[in-house]
Amino acid sequence: MAAAHASLRTLLFVCLLAAAPAAMADSPVKVIFDTDIAGDVDDVGALAALHVLADRGEAEILACGISSNNPWAPACVDSINTWFGRPDIPIGRVGEFVTDKPIDSRYARAVAEEFPHDLPASYRVPTAEQVYRRVLAAQEDGSVTIVTVGFLTNLAALLDTPADDLSPLTGAELVKAKVKQWVVMGGVFPEGHFANGSGEYNLKVTPDATQQVINHWPTPVVFSGFEIGEVVHTGAKLADIDPASPVRRGYELYNKLTNRNSWDQTAVLYAVRGASDYWTLSPPGVCSVPDNSQGCHDWREDPAGTHRYLIEKMPPEQVAAEIESLMITPPAKK
């Protein structure tokens, strides 16, 4: 009997050793979240979903960057971060590539004024590329996922940065060393444009930055195209959560707590959980942006390509239910 117990203990020990690497592999996805929060409200839902994924140990939010030209956007983001118990997440503003026309918002100023935060209602914060360099330099190689759900202004600025006291690497070299993948909410796949010939919004507002980043980004890229989030509708259930939530308030001001398309949330969900049962990944290929494209792009399959895009798999209503369940979950740290 003693021998049998000893054998059982040995078996259990071996099983625990075998399970250890799998447990260690389930580390949080390190995320830099770059948003044009201000215009549409899906940015608010995406940031909320990302925080809940962080609450569950699936993600770690390293930094947030603002790509929209709105003076209240940084404080709006900080209000949401503070609500979720993460007031110290570094936030950077858009810099050199900013559009001349300010981005109006139905909610950014109100959220910034009504909810606690410690950022000024202005651009008196570091530029996003400065924040990203500092954060990336401190990470292990190949460990960071960057998610953009807005314009590509900040990433263009990052690629252009020279070596400095934060890192001996240029921006492009730093990205290549530290970034595992870039997830983009943008584009129309595989066509590259809408039926009327126009380009997708996130890619056409700052076309020079779009061309620079997509054509020269040095790591694998996955696109969540317009068509993916267009059919995923979320937001109405926020009416049932705490009225003191800045997430609820954002949707209340934007569309009176009705559903909205979930373009940005799909990019966040993929960045943290992968395609899973939600989507299928396209075959590898190359997405390229020609001169004077105004947000349009070309797609060609190429086995050696490092670009892919999401293809619908799970019914959009089920994806919406999964995303909205994240959006309405209260902060774990409050």
pLDDT (tens digit per residue) in 64-82: 999 998 989 999 999 999 9
State residue 97's pLDDT score.
47
**Residue ranges in the chain modelled with pLDDT below 70:** 1-25, 96-101, 121-123, 334
DSSP state at residue 236: G
State residue 122's pLDDT score.
62
State residue 19's pLDDT score.
36
Single pTM value for the model: 0.91
Q: What's the CATH superfamily of 30-327?
A: Ribonucleoside hydrolase-like (3.90.245.10)
State residue 121's pLDDT score.
60
DSSP state at residue 128: H
Q: Where do the structural domains in the chain lie, given as residue ranges?
A: 30-327
Q: Where are the beta strands (DSSP E) in 206-288?
A: 221-224, 233-234, 260-261, 279-281, 285-288
Q: Which residues of 187-214 are buried (b: 16+ CB within 10 A; e: fewer)?
A: bbbbebbeeeeebbbbbbbbbebbbbbb
